[in-house]
């Protein structure tokens, strides 16, 4: 192997070639791919991307559900020193177009099942090549490729200018070669979009160092082993799956089992057949597993590590898993910290139920009052983070970057919490009003902005309301302009195609007026108290 110039995540497979070459790296769609085979495919894709003009610092986007092609694209981009841009497969076309345009992505890779959405989003974006992954064997709802008719301006970059190619044909035609680009830990690796309070998402720019140090934190605090068989049931385009599962497993030389989507019956079967040792999810997924008819009869003896994020695990779910001899390691994190901030040792999951845990090994965390001074035990304050897993900046957003850091360089999470006598963190509120629904982050400002496009709407507030299955769901509280009429169905119909379906409010209520502060701002806390019950 010699001395590699690439010190980033794109070098990991090459470093694994002799150590773990014949060992399964990924199991997907019942097909096992060894580390050596995965390296060959990644090298082919990297060569193909380079032939299509991608070099260090360029952006390559992936739009789709869990698939081995997601990993191959991530690692091929990292091999070249390019920046990977994973986009939520549930985005509507306008949201996808924003991500492609804001990131400046020149190549988009996506599954065949999302062809229509991808094509509809491309006009006006910088994308010059579209590479399509065949996912028909996965039983997805496949929509045939539809040619996009050009507009009046044929020189406009976008859908009708993008070269359309097959993923497997691109790999087959490429000449695999060892590419060793000088990539340091401070170099950018991934742009992950996280919605902001102004409505438009902002791209968290994660470096190779951010991802590497987070993976090391996970390996230390969750005791990852080279024999790990890690089941990925949450979307890889979320930082939780990527940072807390995929990368630590590959770094340690374990095996990933990818599922394209979550189905509780199939997941129980996969755990038993592949002798899964670890998995991560949100409370909703674990609840659905414990309520499935196969729960009692499934052999879960191989499982030793269950991690859960998004919100605290309900006691009834803890009970169901403890009856099977299993315990959770909960935690707290965010996109900007790659994502781990804290974790709860499994042995203390019941004792500290509702807590977010202790800081990860190489991550520091503090709670400060409004003056920036350390808060007393039990005193709520803003949670701030420091460490090598914390981003330095947002993509092309110096304003957001400067606002995100305290004067002494600590990252401001915007979340409110407090510490107990043992140093365990409890989250008590969110400054940014974020709604977490089934593990998906929903920022009200984006939904409110879309609803305000309706001419009849006077004002709107979107809040999170507790839900038995999803943890929280969005509700929209709407006031109408004088003399106008509007139904809840009208609002939902307007949002279809503009926003991902999970962001569309589950309920729309109409009010004559809102509770407001002296400055005229809507008092969302009052709305949550009134409707949250």
Taking phi over 0 as left and psi of -120 to 50 as alpha, with beta for the rest, 387 belongs to left
Average pLDDT estimate for 460-482: 91
Q: Is 373 exposed, middle or buried (0-12, 13-18, 19+ CB in 10 A)?
A: exposed
User: Tens digit of pLDDT for each residue in 104-158?
Assistant: 999 999 999 999 999 999 999 999 999 999 998 776 432 332 232 223 333 333 4
User: Tens digit of pLDDT for each residue in 61-77?
Assistant: 999 999 999 999 999 99
DSSP 405: B
Q: Where are the beta strands (DSSP E) in 38-103?
A: 59-63, 83-87
CB 98 within 8 A of CB 200: yes
Q: Is the pLDDT of residue 293 over 90?
A: yes
User: Tens digit of pLDDT for each residue in 374-422?
Assistant: 999 999 899 999 999 999 999 999 999 999 999 999 999 999 899 999 9
Sheet containing 201-207: order of strands: 163-166, 129-133, 107-111, 59-63, 83-87, 188-195, 201-207
Task: Please tell me the predicted confidence (pLDDT) of residue 282.
Answer: 83
Tell me the C-alpha distance between 273 and 292, whole Å: 17
Q: How far is CA 156 from the centre of its chain?
A: 31
Instruction: Give one DSSP letter per residue of 13-27, joined into a string.
Output: HHHHHHHHTTSEEEE
Task: Please tell me the predicted confidence (pLDDT) of residue 1.
Answer: 54
May I ask the CATH architecture of the domain 34-184? 3-Layer(aba) Sandwich (3.40)
Banded pLDDT at 431 (limits 50, 70, 90)? low
Q: Integer distance in angstroms from the first to the last C-alpha of the chain?
A: 61
**pLDDT, greater one: 181 or 145:** 181
Task: Return the domain boundaries, the chain.
Answer: 34-184, 204-430, 435-531
**pLDDT, greater one: 447 or 354:** 447
Task: Please tell me the predicted confidence (pLDDT) of residue 134.
Answer: 93
Q: Is the pLDDT of residue 227 over 80?
A: yes
* Three-state SS at 9: helix
Average pLDDT estimate for 8-14: 97
> Does the domain made of 204-430 have the CATH classification 3.10.20.30?
no
239 phi, psi to nearest 5 deg = -65, -25
Q: Is 137 exposed, middle or buried (0-12, 13-18, 19+ CB in 10 A)?
A: exposed
Task: Please tell me the predicted confidence (pLDDT) of residue 146.
Answer: 28
Q: Is the pLDDT of residue 313 over 90?
A: no
Banded pLDDT at 469 (limits 50, 70, 90)? confident
Average pLDDT estimate for 355-380: 95
* Three-state SS at 34: strand
Tell me the C-alpha distance between 264 and 425, whole Å: 31
Tell me the C-alpha distance between 329 and 325, whole Å: 14
DSSP 357: B
Q: Do domains 204-430 and 435-531 have the same CATH topology?
A: no
Average pLDDT estimate for 7-19: 96
Q: Helix, strand, coil % (nearest 5) of the chain? A: 30, 25, 40
CB atoms within 10 A of CB 144: 7
Instruction: Give one DSSP letter per residue of 154-210, joined into a string.
Output: TTS-SGGGSEEEEHHHHHHHS--------B-TTSEEEEEEEE-TTSSEEEEEEEHHH
Ranking 7-21, 300-314, 354-368, 425-439 by mean pLDDT, the lowest is 425-439
Task: Please tell me the predicted confidence (pLDDT) of residue 402.
Answer: 96
Q: What is the CA radius of gyration of the chain?
A: 23
Q: Which of 280, 337, 335, 338 is nearest to 309 (CA)?
A: 280
Tell me the C-alpha distance between 339 and 319, whole Å: 27
Task: Please tell me the predicted confidence (pLDDT) of residue 519.
Answer: 55
Q: Identify the top-confidence range among 57-61, 140-144, 315-319.
A: 57-61
Task: Please tell me the predicted confidence (pLDDT) of residue 157.
Answer: 39
The CATH T-level fold of domain 435-531 is GMP Synthetase; Chain A, domain 3 (3.30.300)
Task: Please tell me the predicted confidence (pLDDT) of residue 141.
Answer: 30
What is the number of H-type helices and E-type strands within the chain?
16, 25
């Amino acid at each position: 192997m010699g001395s590699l110039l690439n010190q980033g995540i794109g070098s990991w497979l090459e470093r694994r070639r002799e150590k773990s070459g014949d060992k399964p790296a990924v199991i997907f769609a019942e097909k096992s791919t060894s580390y050596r085979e995965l390296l060959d495919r990644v090298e082919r894709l990297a060569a193909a991307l380079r032939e299509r003009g991608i070099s260090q610092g360029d952006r390559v986007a992936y739009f789709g559900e869990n698939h081995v092609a997601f990993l191959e694209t991530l690692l091929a981009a990292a091999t070249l020193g390019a920046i990977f841009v994973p986009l939520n497969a549930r985005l509507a076309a306008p949201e996808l177009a924003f991500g492609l345009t804001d990131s400046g992505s020149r190549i988009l890779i996506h599954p065949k099942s999302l062809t229509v959405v991808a094509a509809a989003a491309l006009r006006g974006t910088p994308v010059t090549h579209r590479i399509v992954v065949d996912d028909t064997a996965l039983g997805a709802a496949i929509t045939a490729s539809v040619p996009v008719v050009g507009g009046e301006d044929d020189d406009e970059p976008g859908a009708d200018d993008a070269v359309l190619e097959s993923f497997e044909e691109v790999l087959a035609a490429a000449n695999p070669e060892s590419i060793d680009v000088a990539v340091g830990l401070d170099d950018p690796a991934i742009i992950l979009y996280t919605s902001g309070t102004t409505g438009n998402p902002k791209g968290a720019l994660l470096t190779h160092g951010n991802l590497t140090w987070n993976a090391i934190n996970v390996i230390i605090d969750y005791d990852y082993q080279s024999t790990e068989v890690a089941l990925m049931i949450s979307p890889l385009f979320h930082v939780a799956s990527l940072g807390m599962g995929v990368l630590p497993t590959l770094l340690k030389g374990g095996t990933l089992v990818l599922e394209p989507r979550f189905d509780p019956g199939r997941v129980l079967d996969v755990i038993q057949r592949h002798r899964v040792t670890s998995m991560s999810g949100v409370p909703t997924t674990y609840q659905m597993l414990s309520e499935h008819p196969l729960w009692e009869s499934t052999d879960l003896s191989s499982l030793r590590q269950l991690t859960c994020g998004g919100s605290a695990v309900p006691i009834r779910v803890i009970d169901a898993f403890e009856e099977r001899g299993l315990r959770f390691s909960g935690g707290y994190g965010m996109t900007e910290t790659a994502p781990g901030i804290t974790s709860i040792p499994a042995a203390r999951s019941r004792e500290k139920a509702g807590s977010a845990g202790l800081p990860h090994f190489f991550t520091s965390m503090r709670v400060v009052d409004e003056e920036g001074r350390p808060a007393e035990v039990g005193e709520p304050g803003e949670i701030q983070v420091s460490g090598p897993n914390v981003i330095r900046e947002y993509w092309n957003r110096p304003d957001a970057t400067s606002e995100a850091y305290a004067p002494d360089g600590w990252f401001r999470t915007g979340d409110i919490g407090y510490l107990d006598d043992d140093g365990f963190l409890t989250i008590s509120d969110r400054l940014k009003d974020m709604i977490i629904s089934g593990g998906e982050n929903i920022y009200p400002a984006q939904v409110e902005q879309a609803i305000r496009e309706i001419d009849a709407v006077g004002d709107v507030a979107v809040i999170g309301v507790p839900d038995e299955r999803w943890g929280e769901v969005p509700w929209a509280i709407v006031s109408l302009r004088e003399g106008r009429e509007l139904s809840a169905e009208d609002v939902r119909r307007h949002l279809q195609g503009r926003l991902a379906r999970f962001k569309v409010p589950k309920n729309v209520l109409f009010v004559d007026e809102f509770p407001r502060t002296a400055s005229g701002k809507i008092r969302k806390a009052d709305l949550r108290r009134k409707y949250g019950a």
